[in-house]
């Protein structure tokens, strides 16, 4: 590629990026004072940091946070139960934060802004505003995008740490963003990483209690208050962390079963630990495709994660080969080296059969 062309592409990219933020800001500034907002967020540290920033922005600019809620355990973003919980708050508009980008509306007829950094569907995203992090390099996390979106519109300088919670949550404490470097200096890396651990534990716990972790983020003046127990939510959050750690220890002792390239760890836990267990087992089984399957997360289903370290392996291709046989067209989404899903027990048993178990 010649230099001119490279330069032009950089310019195009910058323009795309600014346009996305401008469009999203127009959506937000168009909300009148007193407008009632619903915030739908992914309950991990990134999505929760993003939601806490958005809630503070709305409150500081005279709008009302009618509801801020993540899908509960077993609830689907596009399912009836979740939609009804959002609609019960009678929102004038909806923010959808860190949920992935889907060619589907969460709420029909409610003006919506989607902020996401996962993927961009070829069909597009049906929303009045859509901000995708994939226009930026390096790709920011949702909390960082929310910070970049909102900080020019209101003074949020005292809560910039919420963006850092999201960056560390998704990408670790060395994520390559200038905002993270300054946040670590201002608020302390240890307090930030501790906050991330507590927020993520709430989501992974048997209770899947993303309300308490969001409340802690919205209550605290600084991450130090969460990390050192100065918020009322602290006791519950540390209980969640102990529960998740104990369940990880217990289930990590599961003996793997092998079939060809595949290694299966099958266990039962109310905690969302299948991802971490698959990740820790690929360290021990780097030449296998590790399938960690949890029978205890929601009744009647198997929640599973698949990981591999094999070079040139594509887990998505592997799993998609079974879509037709299993009648599950959404099987095999995520990343080539890290994927997962949820299947009814009988369908999962059929998958195991096809894999040779």
Q: 46 or 209, CB closer to Mn ion?
A: 46
Q: Candidates 79-87, 137-145, 223-231, 276-284 — which segment interacts with Mn ion by CB under 5 A?
A: 137-145
Using an 8 Å Cβ cutoff, are 271 and 236 in contact? no
DSSP string, 116-146: E-S---TT---SSEEEEGGGSSSPPPHHHHH
DSSP string, 187-242: H-HHHHHHHHHHHHHHHHSTT--HHHHHHHHHH-SSHHHHHTT-STTHHHHHHHHH
Using an 8 Å Cβ cutoff, are 199 and 216 in contact? yes
Helical ranges in the chain per DSSP H: 3-29, 45-60, 80-87, 142-150, 161-171, 178-187, 189-204, 210-219, 223-227, 234-251, 274-284, 315-320, 323-326, 345-355
Q: Candidates 71-79, 167-175, 188-196, 322-330 — which segment interacts with Mn ion by CB under 5 A?
A: 167-175
Please report how close the Cβ of residue 22 comes to Mn ion at its closest, in angstroms: 22
Q: Candidates 90-98, 130-138, 244-252, 270-278 — which segment interacts with Mn ion by CB under 5 A?
A: 90-98
Which residues are CB-neighbours of 214 under 8 A, at least 6 positions away? 41, 43, 48, 51, 52, 68, 70
Q: 98 or 136, CB closer to Mn ion?
A: 98
Number of residues this chain uses to bind Mn ion (CB under 5 A):
5
Q: Shortest Cβ contact with Mn ion: which residue? A: 46
x/- mask, Mn ion, residues 63-82, rule CB under 5 A, reads: --------------------
Of 192, 230, 229, 236, give the one whose Cα is nearest residue 213: 236
Q: Are strands 112-116 and 129-132 parallel, antiparallel or unpaired?
A: parallel
Tell whether residue 136 is a contact of Mn ion (CB under 5 A): no
Please report how close the Cβ of residue 50 comes to Mn ion at its closest, in angstroms: 8
Q: 56 or 165, CB closer to Mn ion?
A: 165
Map residue 184 onto helix, strand or coil: helix
Q: 170 or 243, CB closer to Mn ion?
A: 170
Tell whether residue 46 is a contact of Mn ion (CB under 5 A): yes
Please report how close the Cβ of residue 312 comes to Mn ion at its closest, in angstroms: 27
Q: Candidates 140-148, 243-251, 298-306, 344-352 — which segment interacts with Mn ion by CB under 5 A?
A: 140-148
Q: Candidates 1-9, 80-88, 164-172, 255-263 — which segment interacts with Mn ion by CB under 5 A?
A: 164-172
Please report how close the Cβ of residue 44 comes to Mn ion at its closest, in angstroms: 7
Of 138, 134, 147, 119, give the one whose Cα is nearest residue 54: 147
Q: 115 or 263, CB closer to Mn ion?
A: 115
Q: Are strands 64-69 and 36-41 parallel, antiparallel or unpaired?
A: parallel
Q: 142 or 278, CB closer to Mn ion?
A: 142
Q: 98 or 233, CB closer to Mn ion?
A: 98
Say how many residues make up the chain.
Answer: 357
Tell whether residue 170 is a contact of Mn ion (CB under 5 A): yes
Tell whether residue 116 is a contact of Mn ion (CB under 5 A): no
Tell which one of 28, 52, 95, 142 touches Mn ion (CB under 5 A).
142
Using an 8 Å Cβ cutoff, are 51 and 145 in contact? no
Tell whether residue 98 is a contact of Mn ion (CB under 5 A): yes
- By CB under 5 A, name the binding residues for Mn ion: 46, 98, 141-142, 170
């Amino acid at each position: 590629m010649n230099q001119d062309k490279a330069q032009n592409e950089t310019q195009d990219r910058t323009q795309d990026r600014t346009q996305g933020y401008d469009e999203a800001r127009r959506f937000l500034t168009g909300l009148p004072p007193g407008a009632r907002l619903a915030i739908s967020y992914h309950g991990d540290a990134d999505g929760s940091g993003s939601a806490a920033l958005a809630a503070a922005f709305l409150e500081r600019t005279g709008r009302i946070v009618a509801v801020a809620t993540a899908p509960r355990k077993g609830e689907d973003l596009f399912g009836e139960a979740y939609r009804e919980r959002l609609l019960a708050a009678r929102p004038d508009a909806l923010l959808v934060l860190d949920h992935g980008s889907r060619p589907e509306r969460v709420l029909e007829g409610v003006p919506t802004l989607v902020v996401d950094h996962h993927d961009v569907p070829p069909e597009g995203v049906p929303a009045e505003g859509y901000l995708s992090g994939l226009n930026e390099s390096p790709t920011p996390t949702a909390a960082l995008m929310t910070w970049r979106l909102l900080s020019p519109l209101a003074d949020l300088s005292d809560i910039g740490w919420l963006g850092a919670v999201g960056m560390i949550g998704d990408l670790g404490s060395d994520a390559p963003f200038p905002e993270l470097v300054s946040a670590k200096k201002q608020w302390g890396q240890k307090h930030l990483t501790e906050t991330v651990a507590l927020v993520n534990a709430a989501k992974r716990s048997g209770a899947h209690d993303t309300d308490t972790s969001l409340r802690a983020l919205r209550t605290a003046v600084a991450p130090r208050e969460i990390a050192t127990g100065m918020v009322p939510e602290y006791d519950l959050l540390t209980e969640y962390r102990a529960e998740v750690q104990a369940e990880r220890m217990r289930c990590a002792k599961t003996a793997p079963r092998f079939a060809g390239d595949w290694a299966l760890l099958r266990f039962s836990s109310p905690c969302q630990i299948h991802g971490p267990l698959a990740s820790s087992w690929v360290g021990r089984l780097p030449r296998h495709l590790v399938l960690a399957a949890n029978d205890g997360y929601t009744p009647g289903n198997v929640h599973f994660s698949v990981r591999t370290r094999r070079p040139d392996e594509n887990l998505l291709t592997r799993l998609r080969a079974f879509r037709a046989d299993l009648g599950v067209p959404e099987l095999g989404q995520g990343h080539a080296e890290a994927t997962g899903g949820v299947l009814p027990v009988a369908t999962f048993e059929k998958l195991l059969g096809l894999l040779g178990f």
